[in-house]
Amino acid sequence: MGPFKLLIDGQLVDGASSQKVLNPSTEDLVAMCPHASHAQLDQAVAAAQRAFPAWSSVPVEDRRKALLGMADAIEADGQNLARLLTQEQGKPLQDAMGEIYGAAAFFRYFSTLSLPDKVIEDSEARKVISRRRPLGVVAAIVPWNFPVILMAFKVPAALLSGNTVILKPAATTPLTTLRIGELVKDILPPGVLNVIADANDLGAAITAHPGIRKVSFTGSTETGKKVMAGAAEALKRITLELGGNDAAIVLDGADPKTVAPKIYNGAFQNAGQVCIAIKRAYVHESIYDAVCDELAILANAAVVGDGLQQGVTMGPLQNKTQFEKVLGLIEDAKSHGKVIAGGARIGEKGYFIRPTIVRDIDDGTRLVDEEQFGPVLPVIKIKDGEDALRRANASEYGLGGSVWTSDLDRALDLAGRMDTGTVWINKHAELAPNIPFGGSKLSGIGTELGEEGLSEFTQLHVINMAKA
């Protein structure tokens, strides 16, 4: 498979060296990936700087056409891209198809937006106009769980607003992104979009680079702190979408057979490797046993295997480091709760873990307090909604959460007091390109998606003119 190339200044080029990309289902080689050097990063930034004046002056209608052309290119090669994504990331092929075509839809959505001037005041004394101007070179750093759709959270918004981009995928999932760079290279002027790959060794150089004006990063909270520190010297703009420990609060009166499948899907999509996955479920004591039983049935029915195999509903963990972390959390949980489904790896090759349900566990344990980012869900018994709300808000994370009940007034009251960026009611982890998304506390800074997300790639510019 391959060859895979970096995209720098409109040209497909080899890396200074190469590195292996492994299939997490087999631990076999998918392909060799180019590894960019620090010098190539500098070349990419210089190319983006050169391209910025012309690209930022291009009429927004032409930038919209470029986004639509990129969407067309992604869709036209959608099946090949999805297969490649499954091979390097592990998710079932059907889910990979959804990610690829979903990314194209995000490009199309951003092509409908605009950044019009706004008249703040037009009086006898003065006229005040606010404008949104592009920042310059933007770095988009994307993680390994959803490498393509999360790229589409960033790149179309950055491009539409007139910025040029350095795109860096995660070291373990670079291939699909590099292929997309190859597909779209002739749609954009040279230097407008540059795609580089590394071995987790260029992140610090990117965030501190004097030629980069903004960093949009999705990943772990600990790495996000490093991004923030690296950007501080130049006071460059940052958007950080970081870790989460989303709580689902299931109140009395909820029907276990109705809510359990939705909670299961909210927890175990992409083998639990979702920043906004349900990572702890607080269930009312009156329905606790029934909900636990339903979740166990669903977990035991999952078909875990290679995402390219027909009928598979859950793939592997994406990489060995995460695989070993999750196994360690499960082992620790066995000392604090009761495993009623899963609880072990599958086979001797590949990073497979059966979906795991742990009941009779409580706050203060690693599995409840930490972000597991894998296929294991702790279910905690609660006495009432206030008890659950207090526990949910005690977390240092605040990305998302959900409330499950037939009493919508009660749900709205609890949802309004959850300290998170997003709260869902009777559903979880629903995102759309027009709905702003961001976290509170250690879950991030700034907003992605929607008009609010678009504005984060711009500088507010105010013109205040005297009339007299």
Report domain extents, the chain: 6-242+443-466, 246-433
pLDDT for residue 445: 97
* Cα 383 to chain centroid, rounded: 33
In 9-161 the beta strands, taken as DSSP E runs, fall at 11-13, 17-22, 29-35, 118-122, 126-134, 137-141
**Topology of the domain comprising 246-433:** Aldehyde Dehydrogenase; Chain A, domain 2 (3.40.309)
Pick the catalytic residue: 99, 241, 448, 456?
A: 241
DSSP 127: E
CA gyration radius for the chain? 23
State yes or no: pLDDT of 356 exceeds 90.
yes
CA distance 451 to 435: 8
Pick the catalytic residue: 99, 275, 294, 456?
A: 275
Annotation marks residue 27 as catalytic:
no
- 357-375 tens-digit pLDDT: 999 999 999 999 999 999 9
pLDDT for residue 2: 75
State yes or no: pLDDT of 1 exceeds 90.
no
pTM of the model: 0.96
Q: Is 220 left (phi over 0), alpha (psi -120 to 50) or beta?
A: beta
Name the token pair of 48. 């983006």
Task: Give the list of residues 6+ apart from residue 49 with CB closer than 8 angstroms, or none.
Answer: 136, 137, 164, 211
**Topology of the domain comprising 6-242+443-466:** Aldehyde Dehydrogenase; Chain A, domain 1 (3.40.605)
- 22-75 tens-digit pLDDT: 999 999 999 999 999 999 999 999 999 999 999 999 999 999 999 999 999 999
pLDDT for residue 468: 76
CA distance 222 to 225: 5
- 79-98 tens-digit pLDDT: 999 999 999 999 999 999 99
Instruction: With CA atoms as reference, report the closest residue to 117 among 468, 466, 458, 450.
Output: 458
Annotation marks residue 241 as catalytic:
yes
Residue 217 CA: distances (Å) to CA of 12, 49, 60, 380, 443: 24, 20, 25, 32, 12
